[in-house]
Chain A
Amino acid sequence: MAFAAFATAEAQPQAPRKKSRIALFLLLPGILYLVLFFLTPLVSLVLTSLQAPREFGDIGQYDYAFNWQNYVDVVEAYWPHILRSFGYALAATVLALAFSYPLAYFIGVKARRWPLLQSLMLVLVIAPFFISFLLRTLAWKQILSDESFIITSLKALSLMAPDAHFTGTPFAVIFGLTYNFIPFMTLPLYTTLERLDLRYLEAGSDLYANPFTVFRTVTVPLSMPGIVAGTLLTFIPAAGDYVNASRDFLGGPDTQMMGNVIEANFLVLLNYPAAAALSIILMAAILVLVGVYVKRSGTEDLL
């Protein structure tokens, strides 16, 4: 997809200047939508993040100010959570990619001859969406709880220490993140692999490349658009996730991510400026990371 876009982009003649008014008109609904649902909350968030506590006010009472110190404070207070968020998200993205790529390759390439099998497997990939994300995560909490069959068996087999837990550990949180975002990784990968022209792979093997080299030098680069789309769709929401890491689900006190901290500041500590500053930091960090990533992977035309 990306390559095709790349190829046609140059061939297309420049749109005549006088058409720009019409283009603007056509873009109007989109611009209005952005202003209403993106810019407005964003401006409000920025303003909130700079608020200062009201003098002699109650807890949760703030006034508009230019208190950029908020940012310094939250970074000082929460830098482990910030790092942890990106660490967990990265681990979950890598795991999801490792799991999804073979799966998507099978559905999109190997199963081409059997369209029925293809559709069936795609339905299975999407099937979890029919049940709420919260319920599924709670179910995992049950399945992996200390009293569960799996954990008791593992302990009986001495594969786990008798006093060890699975829930509440970083592994559980990363597992939950991976599990929850696998469909977002699999579907874009499937879309590119499904259209992969196998003649390129044949040309590779005709030119002395063994199967692994063909995979590394032909298949992977040609499926890059799917890899980039899938990793972004996994990494961005995973970095901001607050369900999996929450104490009520798979997390524990030591696994809190930025989402949990933002939630706590907003809903429990009523420290709105801190929560807003954290949100802005999260957003900016993701933007920078994604920008660098897309630049490096050479798929700018995807954006």
Chain B
Amino acid sequence: MTVSIREFAERGADLELVGIQKRFPGFTAIEELDLTIPAGSFFALLGPSGCGKTTTLRLVAGLEEPTRGRILIGGTDVTSTKAHQRPVNTVFQSYALFPHMSILENVGFGLKRRRIADAEARAHEALRLVELDHLAQRRPAQLSGGQQQRVALARAIVNRPALLLLDEPLGALDLKLRRQMQLELKSIQEEVGLTFLHVTHDQEEAMTMADTVAVMNKGAIEQMGAPEELYELPRTTFVANFLGQSNLFTGEVVGTTDTAITVDVQGTPVIVPTARAARHQGEVTIGVRPEKVALHRDAPASSAERNLIGPGRVIDVSFSGVSTQYLVAVPGIGTLTVFAQNIGFGPVAAEGAEVWISWQVEHGFGLEDEPGEAARFPADTDTRSIAAQRRDALVAELEEH
């Protein structure tokens, strides 16, 4: 399929990055990137600041030339195609709204260049979609950051490109508007079947919106898959900690059966299903998500279905309404995090209490990277809250308002 820029895309185009490398003078932003995004999918590129997300989008948009590698859109090699001839539009991180044009002229710019009929009506329609039609005659400088961001969105979407690149397009919006725009974007994408490449450093946003999430770190993709797959079975320490939080342990594999491996964590045997572990011998890093872990006031009876660690001491309790986060210090192992739903009234254990923690064997996972390096990833604000808030939850929440 070849994609023309003269008409609206009937459907999305697939994107293929083959062996892409990008070097800036004195700095390699992307070491080696291979990526295939199927047509019509909502693909999220998730990664911390500075990992090369914007650079990747700029390469796809044609604003930057790869040092090595090829870019294919809809099967056509566009590596040497100029930006204005690529069937791609970008929502820029900095909005880049033309300051000398009205909002309406900004939104109609791409349509005019392509000589599309009734550009103005379409621009108005796109502005209505982002609820800014009443500001059509204003200049960008007269709008708030969030409004400008929505105009940037309208300016790109109005062109119905085969491939839409979104560079942190919702960063400046407040929570409620962000959720609303997330839904809006998702429904536009589904309705028209366009391909969206959405860049974000907000894991919750990536997980709620995308069909496929690729976690990017230091210019390379660490892991790629459906959001629940990534969350339930992270492959690397980075993914385990960037996408939600994880309790990680390192130890030697001391026993192997057909279905499970046993890891010796400072004298405590911890069992992980073989299918969920990437490495089956030697030193390994294993982990479990904090919400999968149960807290016990008294030592529970040991069982083959559950891993048990303890006793430890509760060193911090933070109550957040829906759930409570406990930090439990276990001698020799370190500090573990436990999320517990507030099923009863308030926290079940106080600071200083002696507790045991346990989880079902099938909830554990084994990572593929060498243990010993950074077993703990410094948590930042984006990764603190646990994600996995599905879209339905969002819909329900919005309907309440």
Contacts and interface: CB of A to CB of B under 8 A. Distances in A.
Interface of A: 3-4, 6-7, 10, 197, 199-200, 202-211, 213-214, 217-218, 221-222, 224
Interface in B82-107: 82-85, 88-90, 92, 94, 96-100
Contact of A3 (B89, B100, B109, B155): B100
Contacts of B159: 207-208
Nearest to B64: A202
- Counting chain B CB atoms within 10 Å of each CB, which of A7, A205, A207 scores highest? A207
A215 to B, nearest CB: 12
B5 interface: yes
Closest 8 CB pairs of A and B: A7-B141, A207-B110, A203-B96, A208-B113, A205-B83, A221-B100, A199-B96, A205-B84
- Counting chain B CB atoms within 10 Å of each CB, which of A7, A203, A204 scores highest? A203
Contact of A202 (B89, B96, B110, B155): B96
B84 A203 contact: no
Contacts of A214: 84
A206 B99 contact: no
B63 A207 contact: no
Given A3-B141, A221-B100, A202 B109 contact: no
A221 B88 CA distance: 25
- Counting chain A CB atoms within 10 Å of each CB, which of B82, B98, B155 scores highest? B98
Nearest to A199: B96
17 contacts: A3-B100, A3-B141, A7-B139, A199-B92, A200-B98, A202-B63, A202-B92, A203-B92, A204-B109, A206-B61, A207-B109, A208-B85, A208-B110, A208-B159, A213-B113, A214-B84, A224-B100
A6 to B, nearest CB: 7
Contacts of B142: 7, 10
Contact of B63 (A205, A209, A224): A205
A200 B106 CA distance: 11
Contacts of B99: 3, 7, 200, 222
B84 A199 contact: no
A6 B89 contact: no
B135 to A, nearest CB: 14
Contacts of A224: 100
Nearest to B105: A217
A209 B141 contact: no
B155 A207 contact: yes
Report, as a range, how many residues of chain B touch the other chain.
20 to 34
A214 B61 CA distance: 16
Interface string B56-88: 000001110000000000000000001111001
Given A200-B99, A207-B155, A222-B99, 9 more contacts: A10-B142, A202-B63, A203-B90, A206-B89, A206-B90, A207-B84, A207-B110, A207-B159, A209-B113
A222 B83 CA distance: 21
Interface of B: 5, 61-63, 82-85, 88-90, 92, 94, 96-100, 109-110, 113-114, 139, 141-142, 155, 159
Contacts of A222: 99-100
B63 A206 contact: yes
Nearest to B6: A208
Nearest to B96: A203
Contacts of B155: 207
- Counting chain A CB atoms within 10 Å of each CB, which of B83, B88, B142 scores highest? B83
Contacts of A221: 100
Nearest to A7: B141
A130 B368 CA distance: 70
A72 B294 CA distance: 102
A185 B89 CA distance: 37
Given A3-B141, A205-B63, A205-B82, A200 B96 contact: yes
Nearest to A224: B100
Nearest to A210: B84
A300 to B, nearest CB: 14
A206 B82 contact: no
A210 B155 CA distance: 17
A149 to B, nearest CB: 46
B224 to A, nearest CB: 26
Nearest to A10: B142
Nearest to B110: A207
Contacts of A10: 142
Contact of A6 (B63, B84, B114, B141): B141
A206 B155 CA distance: 11
A218 B98 contact: yes
Contacts of B110: 207-208
B167 to A, nearest CB: 11
B100 A206 contact: no
A178 to B, nearest CB: 29
A213 B82 CA distance: 14
Nearest to B99: A3
- Counting chain A CB atoms within 10 Å of each CB, which of B5, B88, B96, B141 scores highest? B96
A97 B35 CA distance: 48
B86 to A, nearest CB: 8
Nearest to B114: A208
Given A3-B99, A7-B141, A208-B5, A199 B88 contact: no
A56 B188 CA distance: 92
- Counting chain A CB atoms within 10 Å of each CB, which of B61, B100, B114, B139 scores highest? B100
A203 B98 CA distance: 8
Contacts of B90: 203, 206
Nearest to A2: B100
Contacts of B98: 200, 203-204, 218
Nearest to B58: A202
Contacts of A213: 113
A4 B100 CA distance: 10
